[in-house]
């Protein structure tokens, strides 16, 4: 039988190597051996995903690779998560994420969501082509700490500014940080519309979220 360390390594390597089936198998063996699910997630799956994002940052891995790594991670999570001690999502920092109305390009958004979830944030995914008022409604409903918006198109980026105004009108602007990203977006645009931050890619988005929310 494999030791805990060996199984954690297998979980982590499986994520990095995009081996969805092996990760699921290793996660089951890990549980059967009686090891705690929490460690399996943090030291196995999340460790692997962090290694994958490191490779992404170094341009060894690209978006398609990271998507497959995250599939492997989620395959493991599906098995380990039900065995976690109950923790309510209320304790977690919650973010709303979506692609603004008029645009359906959501690869970048999905990647940012995966990275933020890996980093421990509770992410509410509104999907793509999201009506602008929905960002505000859902932020209110979930008592969100931050809102992430993306678009790949110049024609739809104006929607981000509208959401910021809507947050102001709803009296929520002081309570939520606003992060934006996507092809035509820049720090300059973020400054112009009064967003709290811009990040160029998913790894940067995690750093940005932590900085904005004062998380070490």
Partner 1 sequence: MLTPKERLRMILDGQNADRPACICPGGMMNMVTSELMDKVKVHMPEAHNDARQMADLAKAVYEEGCFENYGVPFCMTVEAEEMGAKVDMGSHVYEPHVVEYVIDSVSDYKRLTPVDITRGRAKVVLDAIRILKEETEGVPIVGNLTGPISTASSVMEPVVFYKELRKKNQEAHEYMEFITEQLIAFGRAQIEAGADIIAISDPSGTGEILGPKYFKEFAVTYINNLLDSLQDEKMGSIVHICGQMSPVYKEVNEVHSSALSFDSIVPMKEAREHLKDRVLMGNVSTYALEFGDPDRVKMLTRGCVKNGSDIISPACGLGMKSPLANVQSILACLKEDA
Q: Interface residues with partner 1 (CB under 8 A)?
A: 18, 59, 61-65, 67-68, 71, 101-107, 110, 129, 152-158, 183-184, 186, 188-189, 192
Q: Which is nearer to partner 1, 36 or 158 (CB)?
A: 158
Nearest approach in angstroms of CB 74 to partner 1 is 12
d(CA 176, CA 6): 42
- Residue 36 CB: number of other CB atoms within 10 A? 16
d(CA 170, CA 159): 16
Beta pairing partners, 147: 96, 178
Nearest approach in angstroms of CB 182 to partner 1 is 11
Number of H helices, E strands in the chain: 10, 5
Find out whether 20 and 45 touch, Cβ atoms under 8 Å: no
Nearest approach in angstroms of CB 64 to partner 1 is 4
Q: Which is nearer to partner 1, 54 or 104 (CB)?
A: 104
- The widest CA-to-CA distance across the chain, in whole angstroms, is 60
Q: Which is nearer to partner 1, 31 or 107 (CB)?
A: 107
**1's tokens:** 């039988």
Nearest approach in angstroms of CB 126 to partner 1 is 15
Q: Which residues contact 91 (CB under 8 A, 6 or more apart)?
A: none
Q: Which is nearer to partner 1, 153 or 172 (CB)?
A: 153
Cα atoms in the 13 Å half-sphere on the side-chain side of 115 = 27
Q: Which is nearer to partner 1, 75 or 144 (CB)?
A: 75
Nearest approach in angstroms of CB 191 to partner 1 is 11
């Amino acid at each position: 039988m494999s030791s805990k360390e060996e199984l954690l390594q297998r979980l982590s390597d499986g994520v990095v190597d995009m081996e969805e089936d092996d990760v699921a198998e290793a996660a089951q063996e890990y549980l059967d051996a009686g090891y705690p699910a929490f460690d399996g997630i943090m030291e196995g799956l999340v460790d692997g995903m962090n290694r994958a994002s490191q490779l992404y940052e170094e341009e060894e891995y690209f978006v398609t690779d990271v998507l497959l790594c995250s599939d492997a991670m989620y395959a493991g999570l599906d098995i380990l998560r039900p065995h976690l001690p109950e923790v309510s999502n209320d304790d977690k920092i919650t973010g709303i994420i979506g692609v603004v109305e008029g645009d359906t390009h959501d690869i970048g958004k999905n990647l940012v969501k995966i990275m933020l979830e890996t980093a421990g944030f509770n992410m509410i995914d509104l999907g793509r082509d999201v009506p602008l008022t929905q960002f505000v409604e859902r932020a209110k409903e979930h008592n969100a700490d931050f809102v992430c918006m993306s678009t790949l198109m110049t024609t739809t980026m104006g929607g981000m500014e509208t959401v910021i105004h809507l947050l102001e009108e709803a009296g929520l602007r002081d309570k939520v940080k606003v992060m934006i990203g996507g092809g035509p977006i820049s720090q300059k645009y973020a400054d112009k519309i009064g967003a709290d931050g811009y990040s160029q890619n998913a790894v940067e988005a995690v750093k940005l979220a932590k900085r904005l929310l004062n998380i070490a």
